[in-house]
Amino acid sequence: MSLPRFGPHDDPGPDFAALLRLSRSGGHAGAPDAASGSLPSVSPSEIPHGTTCVAVRYDSGVVLAGDRRATAGHLISNHRIEKVFPADRHSGVAIAGAAGPSTEMVRLFQLQLEHYEKVEGTPISLEGKANQLGQMVRANLPAAMQGLVVVPIFAGFDTAASRGRIFEYDVTGGRYEERDHAATGSGSLHADIVVKLGFRPSMARAAATDLVLDALFVASDADSATGGPDPVRDVFPVVAVIDADGYRRIDDAELRRRTERLVRRHRSRREADGGAS
């Protein structure tokens, strides 16, 4: 492919986003086309995206949760997408953003951690895992500039410090450790408010699990891209706990019981308020 050439009236200057728009629309000679594979042939809004994920630290570890809905623009493209994955025995990743690149990044991350442990004979530290994931998010920046954004949450049990830890990322790969909780995705604003109001230091695992379920439930009520629990289809959020015993996913039977209690609490609260929405 030849280098792009610009006339005096269509040169975007230092604006990289404008360059991408011109290239995609064929606004200059030598523009990359879809067949070359250098730019996506579809709009980012047509690509399935995962949405809201939450992490909360409790007294013995971390609870990591994500809803099950994937959207493509205004279309619900999947009701059962998985957004929470084990990274290794003592850590996990929750993804938000373009579903394809996100799941591919997680698989590669899992492979790298396994490879390191086999070569070195010992697992990489939790801090090292967080740094490695940040480098992978940074490597995705060119795709993110085209709309294929990946913004994960990484959480795990630090065996050296004997406590749970949570890390957030921005689109450039910037890594930020959160003390108690984190949220990402389109419904993160609503979920984060619920978590902030309900979080208590040294929460038990059961209380932290109920809190993340409540956060996702409220987010689904305010954000159309976040899926709520669906008992009819047996669709519930993916919720995992990570502690000294490792990564464990909570089964749907327990989530159903907790969700039913959650709905009863919200119904009782609404009735006590006189039926106000």
Q: Report how far Cα 156 is from the mean position of its chain's Cα atoms.
A: 15
Asked if 259 is an active-site residue, the reply is no
The whole-angstrom separation of Cα 151 and Cα 144 is 10
Among 51, 71, 184, 226, which one carries the catalytic annotation?
51
The whole-angstrom separation of Cα 172 and Cα 259 is 36
| Active site amino acids | 51
